[in-house]
Structure 1
Amino acid sequence: MKKIILLMSAMSLIVLVYACSRGDVKQINFVKNNDKTMQQVLAEAKNKKKVLFVDVFATWCGPCKWMDENTFKDPRIMEKFNKSFVNYKVDGDSFEGVNVGITYRIDSYPTYLFIGPDGRIIHRIEGAMPAENLIQEVDFVLKRVK
């Protein structure tokens, strides 16, 4: 019985590695606050001539987790965000997150900011929402920056 379980586990791991290598497992390409500061990702967005999308979350926030598990896994969301934005995920309780919270007056989680290259907010969203609603918000932002 142990050999069967071990064999099944190994096969599952092989399938997962294969799927990841083919690109079948996708996600939004978030830069995390452990990797770069807000100023660094803002400069990156400016260089790429893209809007910066900032997901300000908290590890204890239920709606934040729901967004990660549902809305952000929607293929339409992943495609739009990876194509149109530089994406930054910052824990509001971290040092960098507190600085972002002070600068952009964050007082609830999740808060989503769409920031232009000049550092000004183009659009702000607070709270969780299904993929359809977020797509409408993103389309609104993309029309504003054209």
Structure 2
Amino acid sequence: GFYVLVGLARMEGINLSSGAVVGGSDVSQDAEAGAVHAEYKVNWIWNDESTAFDNARSQNKLVMIDFWADWCAACRELDHKSFSTPEVYETVNRDFIPLKIDGSKITDEVKATWERYGVKGLPTVLFMTPDGEELTRFEAFRSAEQVMEVLGKLTKTK
């Protein structure tokens, strides 16, 4: 519906002027690198790849990258229904370095980051080694059970 259309328009750089309300509340519009957002259960590192991968190397953990935007309905659903489930956020916080890349404002830097990681749509969640090798990914909404299945496979292979 509407959110998908708006999301695609924004990804293509189409100006949606006219003051339309898009996607509801403005959760992370001014998210700075490394900022902590209290409403999230996962201990996200925001928009700071360098810190995330440095932490992954020093702690010998995999990096989980969530490509997200405040206007993306499926992204918000993933946050509120899956990543806020205790089993999911406890596993992520314990076994992974969680990095959230905010694409709420489509800048040249955001486009370049999406291109570098092969992101075609949101949400996209990648799992990478500390050295930047992609192990797996999922795209679109996944239930808490489906997310746990992916997390479980990755924690067994570490």
Regarding TM over 0.5, the answer is yes
- In the other structure, the counterpart of 1:27 is 41
Shift in alpha-carbon separation, 1:30–1:66, aligned structure 2, 3 A: same
- In the other structure, the counterpart of 2:79 is 68
User: What is the CA–CA distance in structure 2 between the aligned matches of 1:96 and 1:41, rounded to whole Å?
Assistant: 18
Picking from 89, 94, 100, the partner of 2:113 is 100
User: What is the CA–CA distance in structure 2 between the aligned matches of 1:96 and 1:62, rounded to whole Å?
Assistant: 22
Superposed structure 1 runs of 4+ greater than 4 Å apart: none
Contact 1:50 1:84 in 2 (8 A): yes
**Which whole-Å deviations, capped at 9, do the CAs of 1:71-113 have from their partners, x for residues lacking one?**
1110001110000001111113355533331211100100001
Q: Which amino acid aligns with 1:51?
A: L
Unaligned runs of 5+ in 2: 1-38
User: What is the CA–CA distance in structure 1 between the aligned matches of 2:58 and 2:93, rounded to whole Å?
Assistant: 16
- In the other structure, the counterpart of 1:9 is none
Q: Which amino acid aligns with 1:86?
A: I
Partner-residue secondary structure (3-state), 1:56: strand
Bigger radius of gyration, 1 or 2?
1
- In the other structure, the counterpart of 1:137 is 150
Q: Specify which structure has the higher proportion of helix.
A: 1
- In the other structure, the counterpart of 2:50 is 39
1:111-130 aligned within 5 A = 111-130=124-143
Contact 1:56 1:97 in 2 (8 A): no
Q: Which amino acid aligns with 2:97?
A: V
Q: Would you say how many aligned residue pairs link Structure 1 and Structure 2?
A: 118
Unaligned runs of 5+ in 1: 1-24
Shift in alpha-carbon separation, 1:137–1:94, aligned structure 2, 3 A: farther
